[in-house]
Structure 1
């Protein structure tokens, strides 16, 4: 197995920590405080005024990938971290050749830099796609009697049409291949009463997960969840273990320190894959709060200066709020019930200096209403009000509503005015 030299495992007996002076201190372990972790988050996720990103590509780099399961999230995540004037400017960036929308970590759709796509494909998407295809084939065989050869024939026909057309809608694909309109239940059990789904949805999504086709521009406005389909950009081949190591190197750089549980949750990897990738990256163990062990890249031991003032209104499912499994250091536990739904989806959040302090929602008249769940000073409240006004101006006549509603967002989006 060929592994990039950066990802060769450490030799046993190497120390866990090298101080800035370069002297080797065996057995010593750097301690990273919660305030230092919040400073890193603010700076590295483009949430500080002096670190604002210039465009959507830079935002994707700062987050590794922009969460895109809910279409408005991508635009609002970019809006919070740039000074692009509105959705049209963001769309221009998002649909440039240097950007790509694909399924990746945790079976979630992300927008990322195109040159990272081969890494995400081999590290996360392809293994998911192989399991998903087996499920699809089982359902197709149970309900329609399809064989694997027949499924392969349909898949190949779809890919040929996408390549021939360059850009094609799902409706146009179904007109060319009427079999795609066939519906199946999402269960192979004869007793299932779950509503049927067109086979096109399952097959197209799976082809996108394997990198054979990709999502293009949305149909309709920027909040639409319906997409055209296009041929993917050419991708280099990368071996799965090297891909996992490369993906983890990006995650460590933007989110570190992270715990082993964070890595497993964010990537969807097994314990063995996680520990192997930490070793391949020469990840350095550090001490976190409450005796937890975290990991950082070996060149990331220097402290980061805390911001003077960092304020952001981040959208539902933003990559920052969903970036770690263990969130107590930036999200007070008592705030979680108001800001998350029952299945763990985050709603819109208000941030001050790398910590969640409240939530926000847009009401029917377009106003941005926000409420604090933690105490902050008058200066911070004034900055939040300015940011809320900026977001309102950015949205203009657009109305956004998260796919997954959370208690506080639901309340604020229905409220007649701002509540604190």
Structure 2
């Protein structure tokens, strides 16, 4: 079985994430290809799309959100994601058990003894009037019946675990600050959620595997599970295994992939790319060594914006006081510094935040 080293895996991931070469696909097409963008920080998907699309303009994502082609909703790993309307409706039922379990895992003591079906039924009655509500307003309507749990626990149970919700614009629009207003996903999209099949065939799990490999592969089954948070995937993997090719990484793990997916030569040049906080190019794996070094793994979950140099996380970056500050994690060559400054200048133009200075620090 062919062994793919870390650099080969890196270039394959970058190619599929549109980080080797910017794509000319539309925003909905890109969001679909990437299987969604992590979006708990509302402005971050704009940066992720700018780094991946050749002519991206913020109004393109705004239009996709207001036009309901893409939607903000809790999905993979119980995290708010920006996904296409089609994927939200197709995937949501398969995520229901995981979403509920993760809320209960977080608030097990606070929600002990709560009848989840009763809460869900009461919640659906409240939202039946199709009026967008904040999580606080939803809790207010239920607090007389369930006064015991903390408001946060009851609210997250409703909006992330029991009732599929969309977070409505202006939340998530370019340079807009807006709180979360929730509306049932089916009400906002005016379509029903696809039900799970009556048998154990798990077509959604099989689709998720294929789609995940197209955007993240080659990858191990542990990577797929870490990305989506779902249980029961071994059966889906077994069902489509004959369609796939297999490799091994340098640690001996089996990696699965689509036969015709791009796997560029390891020496393929990788341009500088600025990534937003919580970018799935990093978080979409259990083993993130293909893109980030072990000493820096904490950056990927702490909300730091990162920068790729030669395909790997090599710096963090911030915007504050009209200054784009780049803090390298390793010494950069003269050529790398030039490339960083050139991409940073393009980023300052895109951000439209009145950035007057680019500060490139020296690595510790």
TM category (shorter chain) comes to: 0.7 to 0.9
Residue number in structure 2 paired with 1:17:
none
Paired residue secondary structure (1:324): coil
What is the distance in 2 between the residues matched to 1:269 and 1:372? Answer: 35
Matched, 1:44 2:16: yes
Within the candidate set 195, 202, 226, 1:237 is matched to 195
What is the distance in 2 between the residues matched to 1:35 and 1:119? Answer: 34
Tell me the CA shift for residue 132 of structure 1.
Answer: 6.1
* Cα distance change of structure 1 residues 311 and 236 upon mapping to structure 2, 3 Å threshold: same
Within the candidate set 246, 251, 256, 1:295 is matched to 256
Tell me the CA shift for residue 94 of structure 1.
Answer: 3.3
* Cα distance change of structure 1 residues 386 and 224 upon mapping to structure 2, 3 Å threshold: farther
TM-score with structure 2 setting the length: 0.81
**Alignment deviations for residues 156-205 of structure 1 (CA, whole Å, 9 cap, x no partner):** 3223112xx4xx2328955xx9534668565xxxxxxxx65384453233
Matched, 1:113 2:84: yes
**Alignment deviations for residues 238-281 of structure 1 (CA, whole Å, 9 cap, x no partner):** 437111111111111111111222122122234xx232222222
Contact 2:270 2:311 in 1 (8 A): no
- Give 1 or 2 for the bigger CA radius of gyration: 1
What is the distance in 2 between the residues matched to 1:333 and 1:137? Answer: 32
Tell me the CA shift for residue 127 of structure 1.
Answer: 1.1
What is the distance in 2 between the residues matched to 1:120 and 1:185? Answer: 33
* Cα distance change of structure 1 residues 371 and 147 upon mapping to structure 2, 3 Å threshold: closer
Matched, 1:161 2:129: yes
What are structure 1's unaligned runs of at least 5 residues?
A: 1-28, 187-194, 400-414
Residue number in structure 1 paired with 2:71:
100
Within the candidate set 245, 262, 281, 2:240 is matched to 281
Tell me the CA shift for residue 60 of structure 1.
Answer: 1.2
Paired residue secondary structure (1:294): strand
What is the distance in 2 between the residues matched to 1:184 and 1:68? Answer: 31
Tell me the CA shift for residue 155 of structure 1.
Answer: 1.9
* Cα distance change of structure 1 residues 225 and 391 upon mapping to structure 2, 3 Å threshold: farther
Residue number in structure 2 paired with 1:6:
none
* Cα distance change of structure 1 residues 54 and 152 upon mapping to structure 2, 3 Å threshold: closer
Matched, 1:31 2:3: yes
Contact 2:219 2:255 in 1 (8 A): yes
Within the candidate set 345, 349, 369, 2:306 is matched to 349
Tell me the CA shift for residue 147 of structure 1.
Answer: 5.8
What is the distance in 1 between the residues matched to 2:56 and 2:258? Answer: 36
What is the distance in 1 between the residues matched to 2:115 and 2:253? Answer: 50
Tell me the CA shift for residue 307 of structure 1.
Answer: 4.0
Residue number in structure 2 paired with 1:390:
346
Paired residue secondary structure (2:4): coil
Matched, 1:179 2:162: no
What is the distance in 1 between the residues matched to 2:291 and 2:108? Answer: 43
Paired residue secondary structure (1:40): helix
What are structure 2's unaligned runs of at least 5 residues?
A: none
Residue number in structure 2 paired with 1:367:
323
Within 5 Å, which residues of 2 pair with 1:21-420?
Answer: 29-49=1-21, 51-83=22-54, 87-123=58-94, 125-131=95-101, 150-162=118-130, 165=131, 168-170=132-134, 178-180=140-142, 196-197=151-152, 199-208=154-163, 211=164, 213-219=165-171, 222-229=176-183, 231-233=187-189, 234=191, 235-239=193-197, 241-270=202-231, 273-282=232-241, 283-300=244-261, 303-305=263-265, 307-337=268-298, 339-340=299-300, 344-363=301-320, 365-397=321-353, 417-420=359-362
Question: How big is the alpha-carbon RMSD for the aligned residues of Structure 1 and Structure 2?
Answer: 3.4
What is the distance in 2 between the residues matched to 1:148 and 1:106? Answer: 20
Tell me the CA shift for residue 418 of structure 1.
Answer: 3.5
* Cα distance change of structure 1 residues 307 and 348 upon mapping to structure 2, 3 Å threshold: same
What is the distance in 2 between the residues matched to 1:288 and 1:319? Answer: 20
**Alignment deviations for residues 262-317 of structure 1 (CA, whole Å, 9 cap, x no partner):** 122122234xx2322222222432111232321112444x6424543422110110
Farther-moved stretch of structure 1 (353-362 vs 222-231): 222-231
TM-score with structure 1 setting the length: 0.71
* Cα distance change of structure 1 residues 80 and 349 upon mapping to structure 2, 3 Å threshold: same
What is the distance in 2 between the residues matched to 1:184 and 1:418? Answer: 53
* Cα distance change of structure 1 residues 180 and 391 upon mapping to structure 2, 3 Å threshold: farther
What is the distance in 2 between the residues matched to 1:64 and 1:141? Answer: 34
Contact 1:71 1:224 in 2 (8 A): no
